[in-house]
Every structure is written in C-alpha cells, then in structure tokens.
Structure 1
Amino acid sequence: MPPGENLDPIPDSFILQPPVFHPVVPYVTTIFGGLHAGRMVMLQGVIPLHAHRFQVDFQCGCSLSPQPDVAVHFSPRFHTTKPHAICNTLHGGRWQRETRWPGLALKRGASFLILFLFENEEVKVSVNGRHFLHYRYRLPLSRVDTLGIFGDILVKAVGFLNINPFVEGSREYPVGYPFLLFSPRLQVPCSRALPRGLWPGQVIIVRGLVLQEPKDFTLSLRDEASHVPVTLKASFTDRTLAWVSQWGRKKLISAPFLFYPKRFFEVLLLCQEGGLKLALNGQGLGATSLDQKTLEGVRELRISGSVHLYCVHH
C-alpha cells in the first residue's frame, strides 16, 4: 500500500466470522453482518442413533419473548416411515404453509455436512455435497441476523463463508470442505504435494485463524528443484500483503489488511492461463503473472507462519 493512501472502511462482507467447534445444542449465535446473497453457512456433525428431529433456524433477532420471526426453518424428521425435511417461515408468531422435501439424505448414526447457500431469491441446501432442496424467501434476507440450532443433533463445527468470487473456478453448486480442529495434517508448517502441477480452473483453498502474537504468514509454491516461483506473504510489522517472486521482487497488493490476531481468514488462489488470481475472504484482489510452464512445474504448496489451519484443499 503506497504511503499516505487512505483505504475505504472494511465492509462487513470482508470480515468472516470464525468457525465454532463443538457447540452445545440448543445453540444460538449472532451472524456477524447478517445474511446477504453470496453468503454460505456450513454445518458439520453427526445424527444420533435415536434422533427424532432437529432444526436449523435463520432468525430475525434472538429474543425469547416475543418469539422472533424465522425467515428460514430447516427441520429434518427421522421418526416417520419416510424421513423427510420441512422448510417453513415464522412471521408474527404464526407458521406459514410448510414445504415438505422427501428423499432425506441424512441418516441416523451417520456424519454429515450441510451447506446453506443464500442467493437473491432463495436458499439452496446441499447434504454431503449433493443438492437437496431450494426454498424461496418469504421474509427479506436482510432481516436475518441470528442462527439457531435445536433438537437431536451433535454439531462438530459451524462455518460462515462467502461464495467463491471467481466465475472461472466455480461450479454450479459450491462444495463444502470440512473444517478440522487440531488435525495433524494441518500442523504448521504445512505441505501439500501437487504431483500434476497447477492447471487452469484449479482452486487452492486455505482457511485458518491468525495466532494471538503473529510474526509472519507465507503461502509458497515450489517446483521439483525447490525453487519458489511465487510466494504470498503477509507482513505483520507493516501490515502489508504482497506477492514475492523467486528473485525477491515484491509486488504489494492494495487491499485492507485482514490478518489481525485471532481473526479468521480464507485465501483462494485460482489458477488461470497466465497466472494466479487471489481472493481473500471472498473478495477478489487481482492477479499475479506466471507462465503456463511454470504453473505446470509446481509440485508443492507450503504454508508457514503464525496461523492455525482449519482447511487446506487443492
């Protein structure tokens, strides 16, 4: 960032809420910045063997009395001969006409990953990577600011994300990659092999939490000779984010610095012809140039520094 340059205040959509691990149900929490089109909420857990039902409510407030409106009520039912899910809306203390969705993919005793994708007119819900239902809003999405989870469910993690901003690297339906807590494979420094290199359309995802007293953070790509064609480096001393070439040349990225202590982050790298595109917390931040031969020659992704990793996917 050039000296003296003033950046606009960081919008709410640029700040991601940290994931919550193993919350006790019933669980109610504020959704930082509320909901808007492009937001995703990911739920990981296990269905108890004798579960009857559970519900996930996206609420307009968190008061106990009067009961808040519920814009989206998602409730799988297991105690019937044909397990199904119910979607509904609570407005002014009255439930509206419910919508029933058969063919429930959730099973008693099994783990699951549910992804809620909020679009302009409706929410889409996938279960274990497969689209399950869509539910059209009956209340404005902008009113939703609270998440409530109730019933027979063991929750491992709740994540709050933004949709991939890269059209080139996106699919018709986003894939939810689980958050892992204290996984040996995510210990820093963390290395991932890239035996086929990088190709156009491939997306690298790194999610984690900045430590309390951070010193540095680097994400580097290395070839077979351990050369480092490019590194993404966050400097905590001068609060800058930059691309660093293999010759040490630094190219500053003009963007708000988000790597503050105890703050959650998501880095997306999209490989395209001619280089890599970068997004931080769902916001596109430009690209760096690399020729295709260099990209195809990359064999390792390495992450180091003052962070605790929750997810690395490529």
Structure 2
Amino acid sequence: MAVSGTEKDGINTEDEHLNNSFGNPGLISPDREEDITRLLTVPFSGRIKGGMRPGKKIIVMGIVDPEPESFDISLTCGRGTTDEPPADVALELCARFADRQFLRKACVSGTWGEEEAPIPYFPFIQDQPFRIEIHCEHQRFRIFVDGHQLFDFYHKVSSLTAIDTIRINGSLHITKLG
C-alpha cells in the first residue's frame, strides 16, 4: 500500500509516498486510489530516511527486461538533478549485459574512482527476477544477489548519514523495495 507522509524501512519516494510494494504491485492505494506500480517506475529516485548507518540494509527486487542493455543502482548523497548529478555517489552498481559484468564504483567530490574488478560470474538473466541486498557495515557495503554474497565495497564517502538517496535506472522493472 502507498500511504502519504510515512516511510517503510527508511525509504520514501520523491512524491512523499510510502514505497512499500510488499504486496501486489497492482494494489490500489486506499487514500489516493492510484496504482502503486507508478511509484516504482524506472528511473526511480527515493529518499533513505536518516541516511545509511552500520546495520542498515537496502533490498531491491525486480525483473530484468527481456532484452536488457544495462541497469544501475546508486546510493547518493543528495538528489541532484537530471542535469547536475550529486557530487558524491557512495556506491554505484552497474550490471552490463553485453559483456556480462557487474561493476561497482564511487564518485567523491565530483571525481569518479575506477570501476572495481568484475566478479567471477554474472548473476542476472534476461526476463528473470532477482534480489539485491546492500548491507551497510562500519567500513564497507556487502552486496548479495539472490542470497549469495558477491563482493564487498569499502566506503569512499566518510559520512554514512549523508548517503540519503537511492537511484535506479535501466533495463529492469522494480517489484519490491525496502
């Protein structure tokens, strides 16, 4: 259900609606009579209430498009705009289907670091569901896909609480977010 002015698991969508799709994506909001799938439209941007902290995790569930090119999930410090992205991107995960790579990088003070080495296997399949978990720890993020730990990404942004926005773009449909 979408409920105005509240939050679930610390994530709010830009239009201040609860982004809780733990039910059917086709559920109708009782207060607004609108289809919740509109709230999970890609590209997606939502607030992480209180920012990140050790012990907090973000879960993104979705379905890869039938003919995917790539998708990315970013944890950023501030929203930025489409013309001017935020200066700090604490973590950007990018799935590239052409070369079957799942890469990660960060941007600090407007400067992108190098993409970290690829992983031994590519966990995404076209037209199939997936579950990504991003666990925040004191020194790093731990990334899991479908229950398997794929890699760690050590923090490049010093203030975890400044990481307050999640952005999702590309060849996927979001089914649940928490």
Normalised-by-shorter TM-score class: 0.7 to 0.9
Larger CA Rg, structure 1 vs 2: 1
C-alpha distance in structure 2 between counterparts of 1:117 and 1:72, whole Å = 12
Match of 1:136 among 137, 154, 159: 154
DSSP 3-state at the match of 2:166: strand
Please give the residue correspondences for 1:215-254 in structure 2 after superposition, counting only pairs within 5 Å.
none
User: Residue 142 of structure 1: CA displacement?
Assistant: 2.4
Please give the residue correspondences for 1:27-46 in structure 2 after superposition, counting only pairs within 5 Å.
27-46=44-63
C-alpha distance in structure 2 between counterparts of 1:105 and 1:149, whole Å = 18
User: Residue 50 of structure 1: CA displacement?
Assistant: 0.8
DSSP 3-state at the match of 1:34: coil
Question: More strand per residue: 1 or 2?
Answer: 1
DSSP 3-state at the match of 2:161: helix
DSSP 3-state at the match of 1:135: strand
Q: Which residue of 2 aligns with 1:104?
A: 122
Post-superposition CA distance 1:130-186 (Å, at most 9, x none): 111111111122220111001111100101xxxxxxxxxxxxxxxxxxxxxxxxxxx
User: Residue 126 of structure 1: CA displacement?
Assistant: 0.7
5+ unaligned residues in a row in structure 1: which ranges?
1-14, 160-314
**Matched residues, percent identical?**
21
User: Residue 19 of structure 1: CA displacement?
Assistant: 4.3
5+ unaligned residues in a row in structure 2: which ranges?
1-7, 11-17, 22-36
Letter in 1 for 2:76: Q
Please give the TM-score of this superposition, normalised by the length of structure 1: 0.44
Q: Which residue of 2 aligns with 1:145?
A: 164
Q: Is 2:91 the counterpart of 1:72?
A: yes
User: Residue 94 of structure 1: CA displacement?
Assistant: 2.1
Q: Which residue of 2 aligns with 1:61?
A: 78
C-alpha distance in structure 2 between counterparts of 1:101 and 1:43, whole Å = 20
Contact preservation (8 Å) 2:77, 2:162: yes
DSSP 3-state at the match of 1:38: coil
C-alpha distance in structure 1 between counterparts of 2:55 and 2:113, whole Å = 26
Contact preservation (8 Å) 2:132, 2:144: yes
Please give the TM-score of this superposition, normalised by the length of structure 2: 0.75
C-alpha distance in structure 2 between counterparts of 1:100 and 1:51, whole Å = 22
User: Residue 70 of structure 1: CA displacement?
Assistant: 0.4
Contact preservation (8 Å) 1:101, 1:133: no
Letter in 2 for 1:20: N
Shift >4 Å, 4+ stretches: none
Q: Which residue of 2 aligns with 1:20?
A: 20
DSSP 3-state at the match of 2:117: strand
Letter in 2 for 1:27: F
Contact preservation (8 Å) 1:84, 1:100: no
Letter in 2 for 1:48: D
Match of 2:66 among 38, 49, 67: 49
Q: How many residues align?
A: 143
Please give the residue correspondences for 1:88-237 in structure 2 after superposition, counting only pairs within 5 Å.
88-102=105-119, 103-140=121-158, 141-159=160-178
Post-superposition CA distance 1:91-134 (Å, at most 9, x none): 22221111032312111111111111110000011111111111
